[in-house]
Structure 1
């Protein structure tokens, strides 16, 4: 793990081949420690998943620059429209002049075509995009865990599911990647601060994600996780059905 900003504690760690977790721990009043993660896929057409909140942009940019020049980014991607997902989207588009927003078709239609300073590259459900050695596939997951436009990216070469707000873990001092259980702590966090929409389709959508058989789950908050991702996603479906 490389600390890129001593004051904030922002750090970078390679969680799968060519995929880097950028993490900034924070203290949130009344909620204790928390963290924000972005994931950088380094390739011929490099991709950043999640931008971080707008005010965190200098920290994330500094972290990206420790791996590759920020202006080389080709895609600025995110799961859904929310400040920590795409709050600094336009700042990234300005820094990386060849980049485009990358999101699902619904997000492009209802928000990003208007909010972004450049037109988005929308992805249909199950659409595949080659980055070079890596390739990502977009998976629509409306309202899972929240937002109509929600979806995730599956990186096929490393079997890494960029799973956004799923398995959100509280705490600011967690390992970059773990093989320990994250379902129990993430469910404890959900019960305290329920951020799920509780869509009727949760079980079907989680089965869809499980069918990709991920071996790394790139969580937006807390540790990334390594193991049998399909089994863990099915366990989350069981927990949500209780």
Structure 2
């Protein structure tokens, strides 16, 4: 793990082949918290999450430690929120050939108005070649936030960029772990109840689990490696209860 800004504690670590987690610890909640962004290095590099606008210099410094920022081609977001895309226009300026990447709904309701360049809007199940690998867009409206929410899957490394799913308290000091993160994330979620209460949670969890991710690139806390489908379904059971059928069988 490389520290890219000693005063802020910003650091970068390769969690899968060509996939880097950028992590900045903050003290905005008791016990600490963290913001993560993910850089995919390929012929057309992609950054998933921008971080808040005021964090742009820290994240830029970290990206620059791996590739020149000007090489970025896609600035991706799961949903429209400051820590997802607060510095979007700063990135578009720093990487003149880049464009936003998001869901079709996000482009329609927010991004194409907010951003200085039109978005590359992806439909559910659409894929995009970055060079030696492709990424796949997965719509997930209201899981856990707005109508425009979706996630990105690196089909080569089986890495699911899962946004605010499995948000963990603490600084996320360990870049990649295999031990349980569900209990930590549930302990953080329940007091604040920041998930939306979608009527389609079961189907959406099954949709993500069907991709069989081996790495979950969490936006807050450590990234995780293991049987991602099983962990996603375990989260689904916490969100909707056991019901009459196992998670993921009612797609």
Q: Same fold (TM over 0.5)?
A: yes
Gaps of 5+ in 1: none
Q: Deviations over 1:183-240 (max 9, x none)?
A: 0000000012221002111111000000000000000000000000000000001111
Indicate the residue corresponding to 2:128 in structure 1.
129
User: Are 1:61 and 2:55 an aligned pair?
Assistant: no
* C-alpha deviation, 1:31, in angstroms: 3.5
SS at match of 2:27: strand
* C-alpha deviation, 1:10, in angstroms: 0.1
CA-atom RMSD, angstroms? 0.7
Indicate the residue corresponding to 1:175 in structure 2.
174
After TM superposition, list the pairs within 5 Å mapping 1:2-13 onto structure 2.
2-13=2-13
Deviates more, 1:129-138 or 1:51-60: 129-138
Change (3 A) 1:176 1:101: same
After TM superposition, list the pairs within 5 Å mapping 1:180-219 onto structure 2.
180-219=179-218
Indicate the residue corresponding to 2:75 in structure 1.
76
Cα distance in 2 between the residues matched to 1:58 and 1:174: 20
Cα distance in 1 between the residues matched to 2:116 and 2:54: 18
Q: Deviations over 1:19-42 (max 9, x none)?
A: 0000000001x5430000000000
Q: How many residues align?
A: 241
Cα distance in 1 between the residues matched to 2:168 and 2:236: 17
The 4+ residue runs of structure 1 with deviation greater than 3 A are none
Indicate the residue corresponding to 2:32 in structure 1.
33
| TM-score, length of structure 1 as denominator length | 0.98
* C-alpha deviation, 1:174, in angstroms: 3.0
2:77–2:101: 8 Å Cα contact kept in structure 1?
yes
Q: Deviations over 1:143-182 (max 9, x none)?
A: 0001000000010000000000000001015310100000
Indicate the residue corresponding to 1:118 in structure 2.
117
Indicate the residue corresponding to 2:240 in structure 1.
241
2:172–2:222: 8 Å Cα contact kept in structure 1?
no
SS at match of 2:32: strand
